[in-house]
Structure 1
Amino acid sequence: MTREPSAGRTPTSHERLTGATWDASYRGTDPAPWDIGRPQPAFERLAAAGAFTGPVLDAGCGTGEHALLAASVGLPVLGVDVAETALARAREKAHERGLDAEFATADALDLGRLGRTFATVLDCGLFHTFDAEERPAYVASLAAVTEPGGRVFVLCFSEAIRAQGPHPVSRRELEEAFSADAGWSVTSIEPERLLTTFAETGVPAWLATIIRER
């Protein structure tokens, strides 16, 4: 049976599929498949190129590597997740590394409750956990917290993935989710690799850069 999510949150499709909450992914002896202990190289390159501007939101931040990456280049950042165990580890990392980063519990499908907006939003491996029915709600949630002119960076499994993944995404699905009618402009979708604990060289992915037009 699926464990009950905290705060009355409806279980996501991934939680229903696995029969466990997101928090359970972080309570075992082995790291979660996506928790590689460092930022994804794609986001490291973006940070080095000055692509991030503050304030930054790391949506589905897990143990905080990408929020801490933003903090390391001097940007104000908030990392949010529904997994309290992951957030506790993220706060430990921030303290250990002497970095100023904020972490809070929040549902990615209801980010408007934060009451804040951000110039940069990072999504590493979150978009592809949502099924087709959930994606419109997630994109609307991102719209509520992305400033006009702000950028969303999405790193997600592509349909070329051969390992088992939640919901691999096609280029067309990204473009349809972040449509012009909904106030978005997809400026680029580039082939990328997403590193995991089960694939040392990574798995096929997309890195999308999306601007909030209004």
Structure 2
Amino acid sequence: MSYHWDFSGVWSRWDLLLAGLINTIKIAGISIVFGVIVGLVLAFLKLSPRRFLSAPATVFIEFYRNTPPIIHFFWFYYALPVLANVSLDPFVAAVLALSTQSGAFYAEVFRGGIISIEKGQWEGARALGMRHSQMMRRIILPQAMARMFAPFVERSFELTKTTALASTLAYADLLYQAMLVNSATFRPLEVYTTIALMYVILLVTASTLARIAEARLTAYR
């Protein structure tokens, strides 16, 4: 049985897919920014010698690392409004889900990078009379950033792919728009092949830019 490929229906609705791609990039970018903030806070809390600070951070991280991402989307969209008596649109709920989930994973990336710095670097900074904030800013973090870069980029790519779950909340991301196009054209093979290629182009482009940035970071170091 031979299949006759026909992309005409997809091409005639390219504006829908382009809008979906833009929405995917938007939600991924915003979630990465907030995820980094959450991750940094969690990483420093978990590194704290004070148990009342490190324990809650550990629980938060382990909860998100051991639960399916789609549960987080449903919780923020359906459960949080019941608990807090608020109304969240799909975009806000998806950003909250992605930011908190990615923050838990970023926290481990950041923590791993920080503790990977040799003990002598810490002792040398203390010997120079640096305060903890100065030591982190001038000595530890610049070295840790180079080691964290690759896993950070990989985690960000995973977040970008996870944005497809926002379609379950009727957020108009690339997958949701593809479903609309498919319902109008009844050409699932062409539609979903097209968006798969769009994801590949997006992430390969981002990967190329990341490699360039990593090379410059390594050269600077």
TM-score by length of 1: 0.26
TM-score by length of 2: 0.25
More strand by share: 1
Q: Please identify the structure whose Cα radius of gyration is greater.
A: 2
Higher RCO by CA contacts (8 Å cutoff, separation 6 or greater): 2
